[in-house]
Amino acid sequence: MKTLFKIIIVLLMLSSNVFAQKYITKNGKIDFYSDAPMEKIEAKNNQVKAALDAATGDIVFQVLITSFEFPKALMQEHFNENYMESPKFPNSTFKGKIINLKDINFTKNGKYNATIEGDLTIHGVTKKVKQSGTIEVKDGKVITYCKFNILVKDYGINIPNAVAGKIAETVQITVDVALDPKK
């Protein structure tokens, strides 16, 4: 009876680790890069919130726009006030799913190719996106990495002609978010 009890406990523990594990972070990194003819602009955000459910493949990101840090104060001011209108749209989110979940073994260290599909909301505009990236499983941590481009006009962000040479129409987004197992 005792042995059976032990087996059940072990099985329960295993199943909770393998099948019901969620991963979470509040300190993920997202950078963006705009390469326009007259100026290159880079901004970093180290406060990205993200969660991943290894059982279902559901994944969410929540990004506070005012947390993007620019090398120059004026760039940051224009980004928040003129383009992203961060007082009106303070957060950007992504809610989606890993569609090739079966290819990823969350219990074994390694780098896996992942395709993610879902809704990306920037500046109050939601678009369906599908992107490829990698998921690295490293000693219990899950590191999501993805690089993709977005067209700023797709998200209703208007760039006046006067500054068109300084801000690119396409902005590169780099997601580098390490998630820890949720306790």
Partner 1 sequence: MKKWLKILIIIAVIGIIAIIGVLKYINKPNKDIEKAKAEYTLNADVLYKEYTLNKAKADSLYNGKVIEITGNVSKIETPSDTMVVAVFTQKQDTSQIKTDDLLGDLNAEGGLRCTMLPNHSEAAKKLTPEIPVKIKGLCNGMAGTDLIIEKCSIVK
* Residues contributing to the site for partner 1 (CB under 8 A): 22, 24-27, 46-47, 49-53, 58-60, 62-64, 66-67, 69-74, 76, 87, 90-91, 93, 95, 178, 182
- Residue by residue, DSSP assigns 95-111 as EEEETTGGG--TTS-EE
Minimum separation from the CB atom of position 87 to partner 1 (A) = 7
Task: Compute the distance between CA of residue 175 and CA of residue 169 in angstroms, rounded to an integer.
Answer: 19
Cβ closest to partner 1, residue 36 vs residue 64:
64
Q: How far is the CB of 167 from partner 1 (least distance, A)?
A: 14
| 3 state DSSP class of 20 | coil
Q: How far is the CB of 63 from partner 1 (least distance, A)?
A: 8
How near is the Cβ of 136 to partner 1 at its closest, in Å?
15
Phi, psi of 32, rounded to the nearest 5 degrees: -135, 155
CB 56 within 8 A of CB 86: no
CB neighbourhood size of 116 (10 A): 23
User: With respect to partner 1, which residue has the nearer C-beta, 68 or 155?
Assistant: 68
Beta-ladder partners of 129: 118
d(CA 136, CA 132): 13
Select 92 or 131, whichever has its Cβ closest to partner 1: 92
Handedness of CA 86, 115, 96, 13 (dihedral sign): negative
CB 27 to partner 1: min, Å: 4
Q: Smaller CB distance to partner 1: residue 1 or 73?
A: 73
Nearer to partner 1, 48 or 152 (CB): 48
